[in-house]
């Protein structure tokens, strides 16, 4: 299954309250007692989102560094954090999560280690302008320590068939497009609960990234019920949503972006396009962008290959492999390097909507914590059940 079908759609499920809940020990491999071996110099264990486990990414590193690399996919960010809290800092050398976690939880809790700034700071100078040093989500809260390296990212709002709804119209209307009575029965909902909730907040006219008033909860419920009631199609399968757009069954789908539609675009359906609203309630912004940060785990027997791998994936050729991993294609921060941009074909750049990437980032807020997520999830679940 795709990363979003199982994973990223729930990557911050319960981030507000559940992240602080008791850690649930994670089970590794087939042997629950598995732990890192004594010969750490030739071993690397990484806990990562799907894509970094691709043979195209890992095999050259295994060969070049004569290292056994074991990778396990992240199921959700909270699950990965709880693995580390439960003692798996003794297992993992690197952890790859979405942007809020390193600075807000992992480092304050002593679960990750700062990086050598002399070694890694120069890489930020070669990234896209938005990610240059000192990049907020890669730094500690006091801005003194470097906590990880960025790579994949992407805007995620909604997707339209531009043969039916123009890009300009979609950007102008933003999420209000789905509240237009003329859209009843013409849209689908990609049911990635956490993202739906964030986008419903925006549709209701307020930011998800704050504590909410009772009036806002009522407006959120109103929006959730309307959207579920009037959607033609509900599915957590983004490939199904893209197919529905292509066949004309729907004209748009609520929640989606480069991650969800890039495969269809790469297949030649450039009319399937992720949209970032021109404006919205998050300090004037109406879109959200996710960013991954890869950090070194505070492992008492840390593999010396951990930082080598962090450098390795910064290479232009490897950055391209990470960007075009199986299942989804995404921008990478290394597109700031000409040699990385030159490695992409015209069709590949079009698939990740590189033509509008800078504009979309300017109109997106960074993914962050919704302190009321758990309560909103209850409202969301009830609205879906009763639709």
Domain locations in the chain as residue ranges? 3-151+292-336, 154-287+368-386
The C-alpha atoms of residue 375 and residue 386 are separated, in whole angstroms, by: 17
Strands (E) in 162-211, as ranges, are 187-190
The C-alpha atoms of residue 370 and residue 88 are separated, in whole angstroms, by: 27
Q: How confident is the model at residue 369, as a pLDDT?
A: 85
Would you say 337 and 258 are in contact if contact means Cβ atoms under 8 Å apart?
no
Would you say 302 and 40 are in contact if contact means Cβ atoms under 8 Å apart?
yes
The C-alpha atoms of residue 187 and residue 185 are separated, in whole angstroms, by: 6
pTM of the model: 0.87
pLDDT in tens, 31-51: 333 455 557 899 999 999 888
Q: How confident is the model at residue 171, as a pLDDT?
A: 99
pLDDT averaged over every residue in the chain:
91
Q: How confident is the model at residue 71, as a pLDDT?
A: 97
DSSP SS3 for 44 = strand
The C-alpha atoms of residue 25 and residue 121 are separated, in whole angstroms, by: 34
Output DSSP code: residue 370: -
pLDDT in tens, 272-314: 999 999 999 999 999 999 999 999 999 999 999 999 999 999 9
Q: What is the 3-state secondary structure (H, E, C) of 300-350?
A: CCCCCHHHHHHHHCCCHHHHHHHHCCCCCCCCEHHHHCHHHHHHCCHHHHH
Task: Give the CA distances from residue 45 to residues 49, 58, 179, 272, in Å, rounded to whole numbers and listed in that order.
Answer: 13, 11, 47, 37
Q: How confident is the model at residue 27, as a pLDDT?
A: 34
User: DSSP per residue over 209-240, as a string?
Assistant: SS---HHHHHHHHHHHHHHHHH-SEEES-HHH
* CATH label, 3-151+292-336, candidates 3.40.50.300, 3.40.190.10, 2.60.40.10, 3.90.1150.10: 3.40.190.10
Alpha-helix residue ranges (DSSP H) falling in 96-179: 100-101, 117-124, 167-173
Per CATH, the number for 154-287+368-386 is 3.40.190.10
Give the burial class of 10: count Cβ atoms within 10 A of its Cβ; 0-12 exposed, 13-18 middle, 19 or more buried: buried
Would you say 256 and 342 are in contact if contact means Cβ atoms under 8 Å apart?
no
Q: How confident is the model at residue 22, as a pLDDT?
A: 34
Q: Are strands 43-48 and 68-73 parallel, antiparallel or unpaired?
A: parallel
The C-alpha atoms of residue 214 and residue 375 are separated, in whole angstroms, by: 11
Strands (E) in the chain, as ranges, are 43-48, 68-73, 94-98, 112-113, 149-161, 187-190, 233-235, 252-257, 272-275, 287-297, 364-366
Q: What is the mean pLDDT of each run of 10 residues along the chain (387 residues)?
A: 40 41 35 54 95 94 97 89 97 97 97 98 97 98 98 98 99 99 99 94 98 99 99 96 98 97 97 99 98 98 98 97 90 97 97 97 95 95 96
Domain pair 3-151+292-336 / 154-287+368-386, same fold: yes
Q: How confident is the model at residue 327, as a pLDDT?
A: 76
């Amino acid at each position: 299954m795709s990363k979003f079908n199982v994973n990223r759609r729930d990557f911050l499920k319960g981030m507000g309250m559940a992240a602080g809940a008791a850690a649930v020990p994670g089970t590794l491999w087939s042997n629950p007692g598995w732990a890192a071996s004594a010969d750490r110099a030739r071993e690397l264990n990484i806990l990562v989102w799907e894509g970094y486990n691709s043979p195209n990414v890992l095999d050259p590193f295994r060969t070049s560094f004569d290292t056994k690399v074991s990778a396990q996919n992240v199921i959700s960010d909270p699950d990965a954090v709880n693995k580390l809290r439960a003692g798996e800092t003794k297992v993992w050398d690197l952890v790859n999560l979405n942007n809020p976690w390193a600075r807000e939880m992992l480092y304050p809790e002593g679960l990750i280690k700062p990086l050598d700034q002399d070694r890694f700071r120069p890489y930020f100078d070669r990234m896209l302008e938005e990610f240059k040093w000192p990049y907020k989500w890669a730094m500690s809260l006091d801005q003194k320590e470097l906590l990880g390296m960025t790579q994949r990212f992407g805007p995620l709002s909604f997707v339209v068939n531009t043969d039916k709804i123009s890009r300009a119209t979609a950007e102008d209307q933003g999420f209000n497009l789905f509240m237009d009575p003329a859209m009843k029965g013409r849209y689908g909902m990609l049911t990635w609960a956490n993202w739906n909730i964030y986008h419903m907040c925006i549709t209701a006219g307020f930011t998800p990234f704050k504590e909410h008033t009772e009036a806002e909860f009522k407006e959120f419920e109103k929006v959730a019920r309307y959207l579920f009631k009037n959607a033609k199609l509900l599915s957590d399968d983004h490939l199904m949503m893209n197919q529905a757009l292509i066949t004309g069954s729907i004209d748009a789908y609520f929640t989606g972006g480069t991650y969800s539609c890039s495969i269809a675009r790469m297949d030649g359906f450039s009319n399937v396009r992720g949209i970032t609203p021109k404006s919205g309630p998050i300090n004037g912004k109406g879109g959200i962008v996710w960013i991954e940060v890869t950090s070194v785990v505070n492992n008492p027997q840390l593999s010396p290959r951990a930082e080598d791998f962090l450098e390795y994936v910064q290479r232009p050729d490897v950055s391209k492999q990470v960007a075009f991993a199986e299942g989804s294609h995404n921008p990478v921060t290394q597109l700031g390097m000409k040699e990385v941009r030159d490695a992409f074909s015209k069709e590949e750049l079009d698939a990740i909507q590189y033509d509008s990437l800078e504009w979309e980032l300017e109109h997106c807020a960074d993914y962050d914590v919704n302190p009321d997520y758990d309560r909103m999830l209850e409202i969301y679940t009830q609205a879906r059940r009763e639709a």
